[in-house]
A and B are shown apart, each in its own frame.
With several copies, the nearest count.
Chain A
Amino acid sequence: MSNNNVECLECGADVRVPGNVMQGEILKCGDCGIELEVTELNPLTIDLAPMEMEDWGE
């Protein structure tokens, strides 16, 4: 993973990491929409952010 990208844990897409990223910041994957939480800065570590499931059904 290059210094300003991480790999999405769900779908494997490249997710851009902003230069001024902070611990606890939420990054959104452009391909699959999952939200990733930056758990550590050095080394840059991410985890799936808790997502409250919206009621989407008909």
Chain B
Amino acid sequence: MSRLQVGIVGASGYTGGELLRLLSQHPQVEVMQVTAGRNVGKFVHNVHPHLRGQLNLQFIADEGLQPCDILFLALPHGQAQQSIEHYTALAPRIIDLSADFRLHNPTDYATTYAHDHHAPTWLDRFVYGLPEINRQALIGANYASGVGCNATATTLALWALVKAGILNADQPIFADIKVGSSEAGSTPTPASHHPVRSGIVRPFQLTGHRHEAEVRQALRDCGDFDIRMAVTSVEMVRGVAVAVHVTLPTGLRERDLWQAYRGTWKGEPFVRIVHEQDGLHRHPEPRLLAGTNYADVGWEYDPTTGRTVLLAAIDNLGKGAAGSTVQCMNLMCGFDETTALTFGGIYP
């Protein structure tokens, strides 16, 4: 069976680079074209040094794009929606990693991103690309949108108890999210300058986070949840760790929570329940997930007060971006869902 021809638009950024790394190990596809604005003519390893000796590919200009089987769009926010017709003419399947086609409701988009959507008629043709909560819709789909990393961690932290009806939309949901520097992308800024970024704990965005609408949309079938995300940047490059503070009914037993988590996550290839009694790693931690497509989920519950913290950890470039999009591609094309995603992380 000949390999599907794949192109990546905007492959010099961090998500584009992670996508290129994953797809280069995929036995059923071949990355035949990669575009990058400011790096045309360079070899991919000039921008992504870890790919040296693995790929003999050079960046081309957008204008040089040839028709192919699947096109991944890893462009800065706002660009994909302005030229979606151009890209859909080039390939029958599109996976867009930006936020442009994540929110189905144009008004949600306008309030979140402070401008009207440029291609609203396309919004409901894109399937939300988080396989763990949207697998059926992705199977055989042509257009999928990538996920937001902070939204994904928050959605997955809440999902088991929301689906089990233990956590309802009757209370505000406080999500305190710790993030690494790769979330801000590969363009240097004063905030990412090492002398002022290294070793910090910097409250970054504490109200009105853009991803709240995405989480509300993901949970909408179970109620209209008041999601309140707050982000703090910490000493980390890859990784998202979320702690969601809620109040559950008192008197639940551990086994009730295990039952809810196992009921939701049993059989999921990339979600692991981490809730240990002893050892160093009793709860999910992002460091050992770097480079993987894993989402580790867990909790801590106090039966006397009902006070609960729901936990999740992911790699923002993996399950929070490129990993999930490769997983979506596998579902869309009928490949085994875990193909090219089996790297299990390193430790220490």
Q: Do chains A and B touch in the complex (CB under 8 A)?
A: yes
Complex-state Cα separation, A15 to B275, whole angstroms: 16
B175 CB, nearest partner CB in chain A, Å: 22
Scan residues 1-36 of chain A and give those whose CB is less than 8 A from a CB of chain B.
10-13, 26, 28, 30-34
Assess whether B258 is in contact with A33, with CB atoms less than 8 Å apart.
no
Residues of A close to B174: CB separation below 8 A: none
Assess whether A28 is in contact with B275, with CB atoms less than 8 Å apart.
no
Between-chain CB contacts (< 8 Å), 13 pairs? A10-B254, A10-B255, A11-B254, A12-B262, A28-B42, A28-B43, A30-B45, A31-B273, A32-B275, A32-B276, A33-B279, A33-B282, A51-B278
A interface residues (Cβ-Cβ under 8 A, vs B): 10-13, 26, 28, 30-34, 51, 53-54, 56
Residues of A close to B1: CB separation below 8 A: none
Assess whether B276 is in contact with A33, with CB atoms less than 8 Å apart.
yes
Please tell me the number of chain B residues within 8 Å of chain A, measured between CB atoms: 20
B interface residues (Cβ-Cβ under 8 A, vs A): 41-43, 45-46, 56, 58, 254-255, 258-259, 262, 273, 275-280, 282
Given known pairs A28-B41, A51-B277, the reply for A33 and B46 (CB within 8 Å) is yes
Instruction: Give the residue name and chain of the B residue nearest to A54 (CB).
Output: B278
Residues of A close to B42: CB separation below 8 A: 28
Residues of A close to B41: CB separation below 8 A: 26, 28
> Which of B56, B58, B255, B262 contacts A28, CB < 8 Å?
B58
Given known pairs A11-B254, A12-B258, A12-B259, the reply for A33 and B277 (CB within 8 Å) is yes
Residues of A close to B45: CB separation below 8 A: 30
Complex-state Cα separation, A31 to B41, whole angstroms: 14
> Which of A13, A30, A34, A54 contacts B56, CB < 8 Å?
A30
Complex-state Cα separation, A51 to B43, whole angstroms: 17
Instruction: Give the residue name and chain of the B residue nearest to A53 (CB).
Output: B278
Assess whether B278 is in contact with A32, with CB atoms less than 8 Å apart.
no
Residues of B close to A54: CB separation below 8 A: 278-279
Complex-state Cα separation, A23 to B41, whole angstroms: 16
Residues of B close to A28: CB separation below 8 A: 41-43, 46, 58
Complex-state Cα separation, A11 to B75, whole angstroms: 35
Residues of A close to B56: CB separation below 8 A: 30
Assess whether A10 is in contact with B277, with CB atoms less than 8 Å apart.
yes
Residues of B close to A30: CB separation below 8 A: 43, 45, 56
Among A28, A30, A53, the one with the most B-chain Cβ atoms within 10 Å of its Cβ is A30
Assess whether A32 is in contact with B43, with CB atoms less than 8 Å apart.
no
Residues of B close to A33: CB separation below 8 A: 46, 276-279, 282
Given known pairs A32-B276, A56-B282, the reply for A11 and B58 (CB within 8 Å) is no
Residues of A close to B58: CB separation below 8 A: 28
A34 CB, nearest partner CB in chain B, Å: 5
Instruction: Give the residue name and chain of the A residue nearest to B261 (CB).
Output: A11
Instruction: Give the residue name and chain of the B residue nearest to A27 (CB).
Output: B41
Complex-state Cα separation, A56 to B42, whole angstroms: 18
Assess whether B277 is in contact with A56, with CB atoms less than 8 Å apart.
no
Instruction: Give the residue name and chain of the B residue nearest to A12 (CB).
Output: B255
Complex-state Cα separation, A30 to B49, whole angstroms: 12
Complex-state Cα separation, A28 to B279, whole angstroms: 13
Assess whether B280 is in contact with A56, with CB atoms less than 8 Å apart.
yes
Seed contacts A31-B258, A33-B282, A53-B278; 8 additional CB < 8 Å A-B pairs? A10-B254, A12-B258, A28-B41, A28-B42, A28-B43, A32-B277, A33-B276, A51-B278
